[in-house]
Structure 1
Amino acid sequence: MSLDTRKFEVLRISILSLCNFACVYCAPKEKDNLSSSNAYKQFLSPSLLDQNLKQLIPHIQIKEVHLTGGEPTLHQNLIQLIEIVKQHSIDEIAITSNGNFESGLVTKMKEAGLTRMNFSLDSMSQSGFQKLSDRNKPVSQILEQISEAKSIGLEVKINSTILRGFNESEILDLLEWSGKRSIPIRFLEFMKMGPLHKEHPMYFYSAEEIRNQISKKYKFLKHPTASDSTAEYYITDEGYIFGLIANHTEPFCEGCNRLRMDSKGRIYGCLSDETSFEIPNSYEDVQSTLHQAMLTKKKKFTGSELSMKFIGG
C-alpha cells in the first residue's frame, strides 16, 4: 500500500507516561516512587483530548481510539477521557492495561463507553511475573481482573511479550490459560525500543520460534485476520486462538493505519520515528500536519530509543 492511498484510521493515545510496573523491556531501571520525577507528571488533560479530537475528526475517519500509557488506569480522569471519546461518536474504544488496578474499575470503564480491554500478561508464574515486572504484586489479582472484564461483556485480548531467558518457557501455559477461557492471546516479538534498545539481540525470541514451540503440543491452522491487523492469527484444534505480532521478522508496516498521540497532545505517524507534531488550529494546517506525519511512516520497523510508554505502542 502506498503512502498516497494509506489513511489514518486508528488513534492510539498515551494518556500518561507513568507506570506502576518497571518491566524489563520498557523501564528496567525504574523503581518505586516514579511520580517524584517531573518526567512522569505529564497527564493528558480531558480538555486537550477533546480539543484534539475536534481538530482531527474533520480530516480522518477514526474507527477506533486506543488508550495506552504508561499504565492508563493511573490517570485520575480516565473515566472522563473515555466519556469524551464516546461523545465524539467513536464506536470502538479500547485500553491496554497491566491489570493492576482497583476492583470495580472495569465496570466503570465499560459504563463510560469502553468496548475492549487488552491486558499485558507476560507470565503465569509468580516468580516469572515478579522477574519481568520488577514488582511484588500477586499475578492472581491480574488474572481475576482479566476474568472480570470477560464476564461483564467486554471484548478481551491478552498481550504477552516474549523475551529469551525470561518467559519463553511459559508460552504453552499462557496459551492454555487464555484458550480455556476463550480469550485470544497475542505473542509479541520483543521490540527494539527503549532502555534495552542496544541489548535487543540478547533477548529477542522470534515469532517462528514461538510457532515451533506451540506446534510441539498443538495442531493449528491460520485463522481469519483483518487486513490492517498487527497480528497474524491462528486457531488450534481445541479452538484456542493466538496471534503473533512480529514487527521484526514478519513486518506489517506497509498496512499500518495508526496515528499516535502522546500525553502532551503531540502526534506521531510512526513508531520507528521520534518526530512529533503539534496539532494546529486551522483546518488547512491540520491537513498539512497529518500529511507530514504520514510521510514519517517507514516501510519496515527499525526501532527507536524512545520508550514505548511515551508513545503508547
Structure 2
Amino acid sequence: MKENTRKFEVLRVSILSHCSFACVYCAPKNKPDQTNFFPKIHFLSPELLETKIKTLTSHIHLKEVHLTGGEPTLHKNLVELIQKLKELNIKEVAITSNGFFQDGLIQKMKQAGLTRMNFSLDSFSQSGFERLSDRKLPVTILLKRILEAKTSGLEVKVNCTILKGYNESEILDLLQWSGENGIPIRFLEFMKMGPLQEEHSDCFYSAEEIRNTILSRYNFQRYPTATDSTATYHITDEGYIFGLIANHTEPFCEGCNRLRMDSLGRIYGCLSDQTSFDLPSDPSKVPLVLQQAMETKKMQFTGSELSMKFIGG
C-alpha cells in the first residue's frame, strides 16, 4: 500500500455562518437553510481562534490561514482576527469576499497583516450579477473593491463560478477585464454542495468547456502551478493569467493540504465529508484527532450536504 504523504498546511476558517448574498450555487432562496448543522448564526471569536490556532501550530506547520464564511467582512471583529493570526506568526493570511463592505476596511486589514484577497466575481454585467447573487446591488462596487485591493499592494485573485445558462457567455469578458488589470482569474466548476447536491447536471459547465470557450479568442499555454494548488494555471499570449478549478472533471484531491474550521471551532478534513472534530484541550490527544480528520480525505471530490455558506470553499 502506498504511504499517505499528505499533510495539513493550509487552514481555511469559516469565521461566521452568514452571508449577505444568496448565490444560486450556494444558498438559493427556493431551498431550505441547513439549520440542522447551524441552528443560529455563529461568529468565531478572536479568543477561540487564537486558542485553536495555538493548538494546531503546536502539532502542524500552517503556512497559510484563509478566512472565509459566509461573508467574512460581516464579522465585526475581522481586523482583530487578522491581527491575532499575524501575532501567532502565520506567514500568509488571506480572505475571500464578495466585495461589499465599508470604506477603509481594505487598508485596516492590510495594516493588521492581511496578505491576499480573493474576490468572487461571477458576472461582469449588472443583470447577470443580480441573477446570480439574488441581490440588486451595483456590480461596479465590486469591481472598484477589486482594483482598490490591488492598488493597496495586496495580492489579489478573482474567483468565478461558471454555471450553464447563467454566465458562460461572460467568460471571455471576465478574462479580458482581469487580464487587462493584471489580476489572475480562476474559473470554477459548479460544485455539488449543500442544497444543490442533487441538482447539479443542468447548470454544470466543465473545465474543458471553459478551455474551449477561451480558445475561441485566445491562445494560451500552461503556467507554472504549485503542486498543492487547487487550480491549474494558464497564460495567454497577451499575458492574461487564468486558472481552472475542476473539482469534478479533473480532481486534484491527491495533493490537497487543506484543513477546515467552522465558526464553532470544529475542524473538517475534507470538503466532501461533513464529519467534524473537536480539537481537544489535552495536547496528547490532538495528533489522533488530526489523523482522524486526515482519514476523511477523499481521492475524488464528491460533495456533501454541508453548504459552502457554512464551511467556505
With normalisation by structure 2, the TM-score equals 0.96
Tell me which amino acid in the other structure corresponds to 1:168: E
Shift of 1:2: 5.6
Residue of structure 2 in register with 1:293 after alignment: 293
Q: Judge conservation of contact 1:185–1:242 (CA < 8 Å) in 2.
A: yes
Q: Judge conservation of contact 1:18–1:40 (CA < 8 Å) in 2.
A: no
Shift of 1:283: 1.4
Tell me which amino acid in the other structure corresponds to 1:167: N
Distance in 1 (alpha carbons) for counterparts of 2:191 and 2:138: 26
RMSD over aligned CA atoms reads 1.3
SS at match of 2:233: strand
Q: Judge conservation of contact 1:25–1:194 (CA < 8 Å) in 2.
A: no
Distance in 1 (alpha carbons) for counterparts of 2:11 and 2:156: 19
Alignment of 1:65-84 (within 5 A): 65-84=65-84
SS at match of 1:135: coil
Tell me which amino acid in the other structure corresponds to 1:277: F
Shift of 1:148: 0.3
Residue of structure 2 in register with 1:104 after alignment: 104
Shift of 1:84: 0.5
Identity fraction in percent: 70
Tell me which amino acid in the other structure corresponds to 2:55: Q
Which structure 1 segments of 5+ residues have no match?
32-37
Residue of structure 2 in register with 1:270 after alignment: 270
Residue of structure 1 in register with 2:42 after alignment: 42
Residue of structure 2 in register with 1:35 after alignment: none
Q: Judge conservation of contact 1:15–1:68 (CA < 8 Å) in 2.
A: yes
Shift of 1:5: 1.5
Q: Judge conservation of contact 1:50–1:84 (CA < 8 Å) in 2.
A: yes
Distance in 2 (alpha carbons) for counterparts of 1:26 and 1:3: 35
Shift of 1:4: 2.9
Alignment of 1:108-187 (within 5 A): 108-187=108-187
Larger CA deviation: 146-155 vs 300-309: 300-309
Alignment of 1:233-252 (within 5 A): 233-252=233-252
Tell me which amino acid in the other structure corresponds to 2:122: D
Q: Is 1:229 matched with 2:233? A: no
Distance in 1 (alpha carbons) for counterparts of 2:87 and 2:64: 13
> Per-residue displacement from partner, 1:131-177 (whole Å, max 9, x unpaired)?
00000010000000000000010000000000011000000010000
Distance in 2 (alpha carbons) for counterparts of 1:18 and 1:302: 24
Q: Is 1:95 matched with 2:95? A: yes
Q: Judge conservation of contact 1:3–1:295 (CA < 8 Å) in 2.
A: no
Query: How many residues are aligned here?
Result: 307
Q: Is 1:219 matched with 2:219? A: yes
> Per-residue displacement from partner, 1:83-105 (whole Å, max 9, x unpaired)?
00111101100000000111111
Distance in 2 (alpha carbons) for counterparts of 1:248 and 1:238: 29
Tell me which amino acid in the other structure corresponds to 1:77: N
Tell me which amino acid in the other structure corresponds to 2:119: F
Residue of structure 2 in register with 1:196 after alignment: 196
Alpha-carbon distance change, 163 to 110 in structure 1, aligned in 2, over 3 angstroms: same
Distance in 2 (alpha carbons) for counterparts of 1:52 and 1:85: 11
Distance in 2 (alpha carbons) for counterparts of 1:212 and 1:63: 35
Distance in 1 (alpha carbons) for counterparts of 2:81 and 2:100: 19
Distance in 2 (alpha carbons) for counterparts of 1:39 and 1:20: 18
Tell me which amino acid in the other structure corresponds to 1:288: L
Residue of structure 1 in register with 2:305 after alignment: 305
Which structure 2 segments of 5+ residues have no match?
32-37
Shift of 1:199: 1.0
Q: Judge conservation of contact 1:72–1:78 (CA < 8 Å) in 2.
A: yes
Shift of 1:282: 1.2
Distance in 1 (alpha carbons) for counterparts of 2:3 and 2:20: 38
With normalisation by structure 1, the TM-score equals 0.96
Larger CA deviation: 3-12 vs 19-28: 3-12
SS at match of 1:294: helix
Distance in 1 (alpha carbons) for counterparts of 2:203 and 2:290: 35
Q: Judge conservation of contact 1:189–1:205 (CA < 8 Å) in 2.
A: yes
SS at match of 2:55: helix
Shift of 1:311: 1.1
Shift of 1:39: 3.6
Q: Is 1:52 matched with 2:45? A: no
Distance in 2 (alpha carbons) for counterparts of 1:238 and 1:194: 38
Distance in 2 (alpha carbons) for counterparts of 1:90 and 1:30: 40
Tell me which amino acid in the other structure corresponds to 2:273: D
Shift of 1:58: 1.1
Shift of 1:230: 0.2
Distance in 1 (alpha carbons) for counterparts of 2:108 and 2:177: 26
Distance in 2 (alpha carbons) for counterparts of 1:114 and 1:296: 30
Alignment of 1:3-42 (within 5 A): 4-29=4-29, 39-42=39-42
